[in-house]
Structure 1
Amino acid sequence: MSTRPLFPTTRMRRLRYNSNLRDMIAETTLSTNDLVMPLFVCPGENVTNPISSMPGNAQMSVDVLVEKCKELYFMGVKSVLLFGIPEHKDLDGTCATQDHSIVQRAVRAIKEVLPNIYIIADICNCEYTSHGHCGTIIDGDVDNDLTIETLCKQAVSLAKAGVDMVAPSDMMDGRIGEMRKSLDRNGYYKTPIMSYSAKYASGFYGPFREAAESAPKFGNRATYQMDPRNSDEAVREIEMDIAEGADIVMVKPALSYLDVIYRAKHEFNMPVAAYNVSGEFSMVHAAAEKDWIDGERVMLEILTSIKRAGADIIITYHAPEVAKLLKN
């Protein structure tokens, strides 16, 4: 039984009547410092390919991407997460490991103009393989250890290009430890790893697969991405990644996995990122376009819930919208 005074001595609404007071005692506050904007870079010059299922987002050639990064940076969004669409794909994603690959070129171009922007590179093979899976296929399934070899080469190449952080999203067992060793062995011991530690086999990724041209040509990703029914398994994944050298752990998607974000933060007291994924973004915009919801209000409510659950970093396609609202 609570020993706190009850009504009418205690009236909880006293703290809600005035907006200034509500702001002063707010437990959770969004900031542009929390935000990372995902961006898609493609070959060519002066290319902007709008993504139909993700309003306001597009595949961009390097020159257009640089201008977009400048716009974001001066709005207060000072970190981006890059995904690449290559000119040519291959069976095991080795096209992403070369120094002239699309994301490597983008990193060098952005850093030349904006040396202080924080660039995170997604490390995975699904955009770069002809079959759309996240690694090398052996006997109809992704081979764990062969895939790790390619991922490590990709990470080292991107570190060499000047990326600030690598973010492996493949969900192969043991890849964080091997990537940490590869980076250190090549002199990139200062490069942090943000691990997609609890990445679920989710239905919320549909618009992203259009954006990144990464839909699998056969089967699904259930043999390597996590089962949405499990959270204890996510804790084990996170624990293993931390032991192998992850500097930041990530939960993806965010909205349906707030409980996992909460557990990650409170059980490990590590920096936690959450990916507010494409499907979550697109649902808000689709409903807002039909006037079913107040899009801005719902967007802020969702992102605040993600931070309230424990996320220190929120990767979100809403970043420019949030930055404008916060600025105004």
Structure 2
Amino acid sequence: MSQFPLERLRRTRASAWSRAMHRETAISPADLIWPLFVTDGHGVEEPIASLPGVSRASVDIIAQQAQRAVDLGISCVALFANTPHALRDETGSEALNPGNLMCRAIAGIKERCGDALGVLTDVALDPYTSHGQDGVLDRDGYVVNDATVDLLVGQALVQARAGADIIAPSDMMDGRVAAIRSALEEQDRPNVQIMAYSAKYASAFYGPFRDAVGSAGLLKGNKKTYQMDPANGAEALREAAADVSEGADSIMVKPGVAYLDIVYRLQQSLHVPVFVYHTSGEYAMIEAAAAAGAGDRDAMIMETMIAFKRAGATGVLTYHAPVVAELLHAR
């Protein structure tokens, strides 16, 4: 390797065109997945206090947001339901209702956008249970794995029949990917993708999300018996390898910013599409920092997105998706 002054690393940084030409990492609107929160009613938009700039929206508004995603070049939207409390019960049975909020939102988007936009749906029971946990509880309050998987399979099939393109199990139950994949094949849905939340940690960065889906005040206990310990890295490799072997088309790391090492390790070891979820808490921190004058909002957002891509992420789920897409178009 040459030494100074034969090598001056600043040469290629001296002008904007040269910086662009030598840039190692890039992001486009097609790399983005925009999470949307569905609520009951018509013409409804409910701002979420802990997620500035984000609202729950009724199906008709969700369809409009989906069209905006298409117009911005965003590839996919991710749907999460804020199920009315009256419809929640111990086993999350509303998740199996073909007429539930999630299924109506899928249908509304497909009617508006057709195949121009992918629809990813959350498979987990916490938006449907009266206790806020992701599965069925035993007498001691422990989430029972196999009984929960049976319900997740039913939930996944209901969503697939409604038109979901990607099933995203976020529950972290053992064996659920294999069970869902088998059921999709048996039901002649071979092209429905599975994006597994393979490395989903028991994180402190989920608070605003739980507000958004209405489970925050319901949650009894914590989720540490099924979500991963933030201290563990090698375990994420085992989880992800298991999901891929069971039929996952892609995997996910959640949260994002504090787990860039996990994104990198998974990409390097498995060579499969790795997506990262820029969580509600991480989103809220940027918004709070910008509001406090601690940094330029747009710059912080874009630097975060580039960090995900630099670490090896195939794409990013982020509430900032429309902002990122607009900033990219402005360039």
- How would you bin the TM-score normalised by the shorter chain? over 0.9
Q: Does residue 210 of structure 1 match 2:211?
A: yes
The whole-number CA distance in structure 1 between the counterparts of 2:5 and 2:168 is 53
Three-state SS of the structure 2 residue aligned to 1:146 is: helix
**What TM-score do you get using the length of structure 1 for normalisation?**
0.98
The whole-number CA distance in structure 1 between the counterparts of 2:324 and 2:191 is 31
- What's the CA shift for 1:30? 1.1
- What's the CA shift for 1:93? 1.3
Residue 15 of structure 1: aligned partner: 12
Structure 2 unaligned regions, length at least 5: none
Q: 1:29 aligns with which of 26, 29, 43?
A: 26
**Corresponding letter in the other structure for 1:112:** E
Alpha-carbon deviations, 1:87-114, whole Å to 9, x = none? 3111111201111011101111110110
Residue 94 of structure 1: aligned partner: 93
Residue 69 of structure 1: aligned partner: 66
Give the 5 Å matches for 1:1-328.
4-87=1-84, 88-115=87-114, 116-139=116-139, 140-215=141-216, 216-328=218-330
- What's the CA shift for 1:151? 0.5
- What's the CA shift for 1:218? 1.5
Alpha-carbon deviations, 1:185-211, whole Å to 9, x = none? 111111110000000000000111111
The whole-number CA distance in structure 2 between the counterparts of 1:271 and 1:284 is 26
The whole-number CA distance in structure 2 between the counterparts of 1:53 and 1:85 is 15
Alpha-carbon deviations, 1:125-173, whole Å to 9, x = none? 1110000000000121100000001100010011100111100000001
Three-state SS of the structure 2 residue aligned to 1:82 is: strand
RMSD: 0.8
**Corresponding letter in the other structure for 1:125:** L
The whole-number CA distance in structure 2 between the counterparts of 1:86 and 1:254 is 26
- What's the CA shift for 1:231? 0.2
Three-state SS of the structure 1 residue aligned to 2:10 is: helix
**Corresponding letter in the other structure for 1:93:** G
- What's the CA shift for 1:55? 1.5
**Corresponding letter in the other structure for 2:96:** T
Tell whether the 8 Å contact from 2:205 to 2:281 is kept in structure 1 after alignment: yes
**Corresponding letter in the other structure for 1:258:** L
Tell whether the 8 Å contact from 2:83 to 2:214 is kept in structure 1 after alignment: no
Three-state SS of the structure 2 residue aligned to 1:203 is: coil
**Corresponding letter in the other structure for 2:137:** I
Alpha-carbon deviations, 1:248-287, whole Å to 9, x = none? 0100001000000001101010011000000000000011
Question: What percentage of residue pairs aligned between the two structures are identical?
Answer: 43
- What's the CA shift for 1:217? 2.7
- What's the CA shift for 1:72? 2.0
Three-state SS of the structure 2 residue aligned to 1:258 is: helix
**What TM-score do you get using the length of structure 2 for normalisation?**
0.97
Alpha-carbon deviations, 1:46-91, whole Å to 9, x = none? 1111011111111111011111111222122231000011231111
Tell whether the 8 Å contact from 2:83 to 2:213 is kept in structure 1 after alignment: no
**Corresponding letter in the other structure for 2:148:** T
Tell whether the 8 Å contact from 2:254 to 2:277 is kept in structure 1 after alignment: yes
Alpha-carbon deviations, 1:214-261, whole Å to 9, x = none? 225321000000000000000110111111111001000010000000
Structure 1 unaligned regions, length at least 5: none
The whole-number CA distance in structure 2 between the counterparts of 1:190 and 1:79 is 16
**Corresponding letter in the other structure for 1:127:** P
The whole-number CA distance in structure 1 between the counterparts of 2:101 and 2:20 is 44
